[in-house]
Structure 1
Amino acid sequence: MKHKKLFVTIGATFALFLAIITAASFYLVDYALVSVQRDRDSDMSKIEKRFPEVKPWLDSLQAVGALRDTFVVMPQTGKRAHALYVRSPRAEGRTAVLVHGYGDKATSMLPIARIYNRQMNANVLLPDLYAHGQSDGEAIQMGWKDRLDVLHWISLAPEMFGTTADSLRLVVHGISMGAATTMCVSGEQTPRYVKCFVEDCGYTSVWDEFSNEISARFSLPDFPLMYTASWLVKAKYGWGFNEASPLKQVAKCQKPMLFIHGDNDTFVPTWMVYPLYEAKPQPKALWIAHGSKHADAYADYKEEYARRVVGFVEKYL
């Protein structure tokens, strides 16, 4: 009788533990990928207040109808995706695809677009990633499946900018989750006209980033929640935390890449840039922005950021 009660108690405890972990896993996935506050409106006041140099550039574009947008249906998902773009009459094939971060949208990359368009006369293409901005989608993909959408935008670039694949020369530049997306793109087979990449404060893997966050925000260890949440994401969305690895992708990249990271970044900890840089074969370059927090390198060092980016990219475009 005592043994039976013991087994019942153990079974009930295990069932309760399983229920708690399952509920916590659903909560974590919803918290990180579904219910996160996403900036979907088109209010430009925040960007223009923080980056006043953007407004006169935008005004000049809008005066001639040069800032446009488009929607396409992504072949991988069947979902409608949105992008902004500017066609430069003096681009001579130079084109930048600029990828925004977690919970953000295409317009957040306009300060970086200004660098390419004003200083390099380049075309710029700014997609809203899946489930961001005006693009459809239910759950954030953390850059992993986003790489396939960005590859599709890259394939559309010659037609969008009225040129041929032979004359196009293209850079992909991303910040935060957009940097992770950029690195994931870099490990795939890209067209010959993709010449180089710039990643600004991207993470080594989704596992590493979420592990850092559940420790920082909730003081929880990886086991068991990271494992169960990853299994849940795999079942619901078709990808897992470990496979979403910019680190593995950059190791396959043979094209040039500039790495940027602030040395005061705690959201995507600065340490992550070093294994990423080491894994990437030459050619490559690294800039650590002194004192910069997450995604603040441009805001803190506008002239140096532009100089370093243009100096690197011009060698290949």
Structure 2
Amino acid sequence: MALLHQGLWIFLAGLAIAYGSLCWYYWAIQTRLIFFPVEEITRTPADFNLDYEDVWVESVEPGVKLHGWWIPNSASNRVLLYLHGNADNIGTNAYHAGRFYHLGFSVFLFDYRGYGQSQGEFPTEKQVYDDTDTIWDYLVNERGIAPEQIVVYGHSLGGAIGIELATKHPQISHFIIEGSFTSLRRMGDYRYPLLNILPIDLLLQNQFNSLAKVPQLKMPTLFIHGQQDTAVPSFMSEELFAAAPEPKKLWLFPPGDHSTVAPLAGEEYFKTIREFVEMPPFPIPGYYLSPSK
């Protein structure tokens, strides 16, 4: 009997050690489940016949210099700040940025630290917020762009980053959020349900709790989501929309997934954004489909 009890205690102790190790492992690697940076830039705006300027912006943090592209549009004084998602880099987003150029915006897109040519270590939630604050200050204070001229666009994780930025700058003209989520906690439930055996609320250092922040928004906000999105479910945009104050608009596109709303919707995508930001039509020949088509 004593040996049985001893064996049980050893088993329970081993189980506790294994569980504690699993908790520590998740705590240590959770940013690797959030951010997927790619350093190599394979495309630039020039590949899509867009003139652009390489821009380097010094962060307030020593050793961090952020890289971005300024795509000027002399036909308009409206500027779109483009915040990309958690994977790849600005090269992957150059074509979509061109859509906004052809809508009539000058466009600024940049990489968070650790992405593309931007310097710095692997990022955290706070650091991508800091990087975006740095770029905002650059646009307003160095380029002299009035906040009222700036439209913020955020895709996926970029939407959550944009929501944090927008809570600090109510003067933003308009805010477009595409394919984004309510919170990282809810995304964990959706993508990694088995992790709920862990005390996630105690271990989660990066929250990206957009649902708690959207009631603070002061600018017109457009939520876009493809209803075939398996990366981020469209009901999350519906929940964000419900929590956001007026003025707001929700556009759910039935055939679209996480990255195909614009190429599949074509002119409807342009029309929705034009009407939301109250911009006149621009000629956009041949710029509806994805670059592979």
Would you call these one fold, judging by a TM-score over 0.5? yes
Aligned to 2:72: 87
1:118-147, CA deviations, whole angstroms, 9 ceiling, x for partnerless residues?
A: 232x221001122211112333435x5423
Residues paired across the two proteins, number: 278
Normalised by the length of structure 2, the TM-score is: 0.83
C-alpha displacement at 1:179, in angstroms?
1.6
Q: Which runs of 5+ in 1 are unaligned?
A: 48-53, 235-239
1:111 aligns with 2:95: yes
1:229-272, CA deviations, whole angstroms, 9 ceiling, x for partnerless residues?
A: 41xxx3xxxxx33xx21111211001110000011112111110
Does the 8 Å contact 2:56/2:67 carry over to 1? yes
Q: Which amino acid aligns with 1:39?
A: V
Aligned to 1:270: 234
Does the 8 Å contact 2:57/2:135 carry over to 1? no
C-alpha displacement at 1:196, in angstroms?
1.0
Tell me the percent identity: 22
Aligned to 1:51: none
Does the 8 Å contact 2:153/2:159 carry over to 1? yes
1:187 is paired with a residue whose SS is helix
Q: Which amino acid aligns with 2:159?
A: A
1:88 is paired with a residue whose SS is coil
> Quick one: distance in 1 between partners of 2:99 and 2:118?
25
Aligned to 2:16: 14
Alignment CA distance shift 1:97-1:305 (3 Å): same
Aligned to 2:146: 165
Aligned to 1:224: 198
CA-based RMSD of the aligned residues comes to 2.8
Normalised by the length of structure 1, the TM-score is: 0.77
1:215-254 map, 5 Å: 215=193, 220-224=194-198, 226-227=200-201, 229-230=203-204, 234=205, 240-241=206-207, 244-254=208-218
C-alpha displacement at 1:304, in angstroms?
1.0
Q: Which amino acid aligns with 2:152?
A: V
1:222 is paired with a residue whose SS is helix
2:118 equivalent among 113, 135, 143: 135
Aligned to 1:126: 109
Alignment CA distance shift 1:20-1:173 (3 Å): closer
The 4+ residue runs of structure 1 with deviation greater than 6 A are: none
C-alpha displacement at 1:157, in angstroms?
1.4
Alignment CA distance shift 1:40-1:302 (3 Å): farther
1:180-224, CA deviations, whole angstroms, 9 ceiling, x for partnerless residues?
A: 211222222x163x2110000011011111222213xxxx14231
> Quick one: distance in 2 between partners of 1:131 and 1:33?
13
Does the 8 Å contact 2:170/2:218 carry over to 1? no
Does the 8 Å contact 2:85/2:156 carry over to 1? yes
Aligned to 2:161: 181
C-alpha displacement at 1:31, in angstroms?
3.8
Q: Which amino acid aligns with 2:24?
A: T
